[in-house]
Structure 1
Amino acid sequence: MVNINMLKFKIIEKGWNVEKIAKKIGIDRSTFYRKMNDTGSEFTIREADYIARLLDLNYDEVNEIFFSNFVAYKQQKKK
């Protein structure tokens, strides 16, 4: 799942907009919006890589935006 708020922030911070990024990575603007809003498929690794390069994201930002899912587990209490 994509960290939508951070991605939107980075797009604006770097002076881009969704239309320009969608065109650069070769997808329709509406497809880009669907991917950001979880109503479509997820970004591919290629698309995430291209977006990261366009926005000049560092390693931590890429992970936080595109790979923010983690497995939560409940630690068992010791008896």
Structure 2
Amino acid sequence: MTVNTELLRRKIEDSGMTITSFSAAIEMDPSTFYRKIDSGGCKFTIGQMHKAVAVLKLKKAEAVQIFLGENSQKCEN
């Protein structure tokens, strides 16, 4: 499932967090976060997505836009 990584980065920035602080908040090493972003977000687990939604205090529509957008089913393994 692809993630709207551009919008995710924007929401992290808008929240006043850095990638490092956000990664720590979702219990992920920053280098792992960057790898997941570089893969188009295909490697995020459902649990990691739920943590991101909680940490960023996303509204349902925002979460859907980031994690369940138009191309969310187009990841290749």
TM range (shorter): 0.7 to 0.9
Which runs of 5 or more structure 2 residues have no equivalent in the other structure? none
Amino acid at match of 2:38: N
| Aligned-pair CA distance for 1:46 | 0.9
Deviations 1:4-56 (A, max 9, x none): 11001100111011111111222110100111121785111111111111111
Check 1:12–1:39 CA distance in 2 against 1; reply closer, same or farther (3 A cut). closer
The answer for the alignment partner of 1:34 in structure 2 is 35
- Please list every run of at least 4 consecutive aligned residues from structure 1 whose deviation after the TM superposition is greater than 3 angstroms: none
Residue type at the aligned position of 1:33: Y
The percent of aligned pairs where both chains have the same amino acid is: 34
Give the CA RMSD over aligned residues. Answer: 1.9
Question: CA contact under 8 A between 2:8 and 2:66: conserved in structure 1?
Answer: yes
Q: Note if contact 2:4-2:65 (Cα within 8 Å) is conserved in structure 1.
A: yes
The whole-number CA distance in structure 2 between the counterparts of 1:59 and 1:40 is 19
Gaps of 5+ in 1: 72-79
Task: State the structure with bigger RCO (CA 8 A, min sep 6), 1 or 2.
Answer: 2
